[in-house]
Amino acid sequence: MITLVLHGELRQRTGGRKELAVRGAGRTAGAILEDLGIPGHETAALIVNAEQVEADRVLAEGDRLEVLPAISGGEDGGALSDIRVIDLTRALAGPYCTLMLADHGADVVKVEQPGKGDETREWAPPSIGGVSAYYLSINRNKRSLTLDLKHPDGKRVLERLIEGADVVVENFSPGTLERLGFAPDRVRSLNRRAILCRISGFGQDGPGRAWAAYDLIVQGMGGIMSLTGHRGSPPVMVGVPQADMIAGMFAAYAILAALHARARTGEGQVIDATMIGGQVALLSRQAARYFADGTVPGPEGNEHSSIVPYQTFRAADGFVNICCGNNALFERLCRALDLEELLEDERFADNGARVKNRAALVPQLERRVGQLRKDDVVRRLREANVPVGPINALDEVFADPVVRHLGLVAEVDHPVAGRVRAPGIPVRLSKTEPSVRRYPPLLGEHTDEILRELGYLEPEIEKLRTDAVV
C-alpha cells in the first residue's frame, strides 16, 4: 500500500478525503491517478516522499504520493477577464507587471520586435529545450504579436491595438514612445478610456530621466544595498532582482487603481511608475529611524536593532530564523530549548534589557541551538508557538508542504520546452480565481490571430509579412 494525499479541489474526486491508502506498489503515479479518474491536466505536480517526480515514476511499498492541483480559473476566467492589455515591455519590470495582470485573466498582447523579440528570450543559460528559462518564468498567459513600430504600417497596427485597449504598458527609455509618435496625448486621442502605464528607472522627467537603469543600479541608489549584509561588510545585492519586480508590482497596483477610477469617471489616465520609487517605498522602518533622529542605518546582518532575539542561528545541520517580539515569546523560547535559567537573569527580563545585553544573551542561545538539528529546533519552537523557520535552499522551498499546499509551483506544457515549472500565483481569490491558461508564447505565435481580431483580411496580413512589418 501507498499513502495518497490529494490537495485542493482534487479531493472532490474522493468525496472530500484528503489522505487515503491505495494499492500502488509497483505501479506508476500516473496509472494510480488514472484509476481514480484524475486526468493529468488537472495536476500541477506529483511529489513522492518530498521529491517532485514525473507521472512515470514507479512507486514502492510505503511511499507517500502527494498530488497538487493544476491552477484553474474561476467561472468567469479571472477578475480581469474583460480587460485587454497592450504590452510594449521587455526584460523584467514591465513583463512582471503584465504577468500579474495576465494571471488574473487579462488578455495581454505582448508586442515584440520581428525576428528578435523580448531580449530575455536570449538570456541563457539556463535554457529548457533551447528556450530561455528567464523568459519562460515571466511570460505565461500572454499572446505574442511581432510588430515593427518604426514602420508606418506597424504604427497603424498599434493605433488599432490602442483603440481597443483598456491598458497600455511600456518600459522604453523615456522619450522613446514620443519619438515613435505615441506620446500620452496621442494615446489619449486614440482612446480616452485607455490607461497608459509607463515604467522606468527614474521617471519620465526630472534629473534621472536619461539614466540607464538595471536592477543592481537601482538597488544601490535606493538604499537597499546599504542596509543589506553584515556589519562592516561591503554593500550586498538582494539575491533576486527585486528592484525590477517591485516596480512591476507597484505598476500593476496602480493600473488596478486607475481601472477603478475609470469605472467612476469613464476616463483613463497616465501612470508614471519607477524602479527608484519602489525601492524608497521599501525603506519603511529604516527610513523611520532616519527621519526620527537623523541616524543613517547601516547593514545589521540578520539581526534586528530593536528586538532580541530576532535573528539567524546556526543549528547542527543548517540555519534557522527565530523571532521573539515580546516577553511571552521569549519565555516560551527558553522553555522549549531547556534554557529556563535565562528567565531568572535580570539582564534578560524584558526586550529593552535584552537589547542592552545582546552580547551576553545571544551566545547562550547560539550554543544551545547549535547542539540541535535544524528540524528539531523548528519542531520544538513551533510546538511552543514561537515564530521560527528554517532557511531553505530552493530545493527545500519547493518541497515545503506549505508551498505545495498553496499551489506555489505553476506548471504548463510548452511546445518546445516541454513541461515548464515556475513560481505560482501567490494569492487566491474565492470567486475569481487567477489561473495559468497559456504557456509563454513563441515569438509572433499569435500575430495572425490578433491581426484578424483587429479586422485585417488575409491579403492584408500577407502584405504586412511581405513588407516585414510583422
pLDDT in tens, the chain (470 residues): 899 988 766 776 777 778 888 988 999 999 998 888 888 767 767 888 877 788 899 999 999 998 877 654 444 579 999 999 999 999 999 999 999 999 999 999 999 999 999 999 999 999 999 999 999 999 999 999 999 999 999 999 999 999 999 999 999 999 999 999 999 999 999 999 999 999 999 999 999 999 999 999 999 999 999 999 999 999 999 999 999 999 999 999 999 999 999 999 999 999 999 999 999 999 998 999 999 999 999 998 999 988 999 999 999 999 999 999 999 999 999 999 999 999 999 999 999 999 999 999 999 999 999 999 999 999 999 999 999 999 999 999 998 888 888 889 888 889 999 989 999 999 988 889 899 999 999 999 999 999 999 999 999 999 999 999 99
CA dist 256 and 173 (Å) reads 23
- Could you give the count of Cα atoms lying within 13 Å of 57 in the half-sphere of its Cβ? 18
- CATH 3.30.1540.10 residue ranges in the chain? 310-393
388 in Cβ contact with 382 (< 8 Å): yes
Q: Give the pLDDT confidence score for residue 73 in this predicted structure.
A: 44
CA dist 313 and 387 (Å) reads 13
From the candidates 166, 215, 244, 272, give the one annotated as an active-site residue.
244
375 in Cβ contact with 401 (< 8 Å): no
Angle at the Cα of 443 from the Cα atoms of 408 and 459, rounded to 5 degrees: 135
Q: Give the pLDDT confidence score for residue 70 in this predicted structure.
A: 64
- CATH 3.10.20.30 residue ranges in the chain? 2-69
Q: Give the pLDDT confidence score for residue 74 in this predicted structure.
A: 44
Q: Give the pLDDT confidence score for residue 208 in this predicted structure.
A: 95
Q: At what angle do helices 93-103 and 242-265 cross, to 10 degrees?
A: 50
Q: Give the pLDDT confidence score for residue 75 in this predicted structure.
A: 45
Q: Which CATH architecture has domain 2-69?
A: Roll (3.10)
Q: Give the pLDDT confidence score for residue 219 in this predicted structure.
A: 97
Write out the three cell numbers for 470: 510583422
Q: Give the pLDDT confidence score for residue 52 in this predicted structure.
A: 74
CA dist 265 and 285 (Å) reads 36
CA dist 174 and 247 (Å) reads 16
Q: Give the pLDDT confidence score for residue 407 in this predicted structure.
A: 84
CA dist 225 and 238 (Å) reads 7
Q: Give the pLDDT confidence score for residue 9 in this predicted structure.
A: 65
- CATH 3.40.50.10540 residue ranges in the chain? 84-282+440-466
CATH (one of 3.30.1540.10, 3.30.360.10, 3.40.50.9100, 1.10.286.10) for 310-393: 3.30.1540.10
pTM: 0.85
83 in Cβ contact with 166 (< 8 Å): yes
Q: How far is CA 337 from CA 177, 371, 392, in A?
A: 61, 10, 22
CA dist 287 and 285 (Å) reads 5
Q: Which CATH architecture has domain 84-282+440-466?
A: 3-Layer(aba) Sandwich (3.40)
270 in Cβ contact with 184 (< 8 Å): yes
Q: Does the active-site annotation cover 244?
A: yes
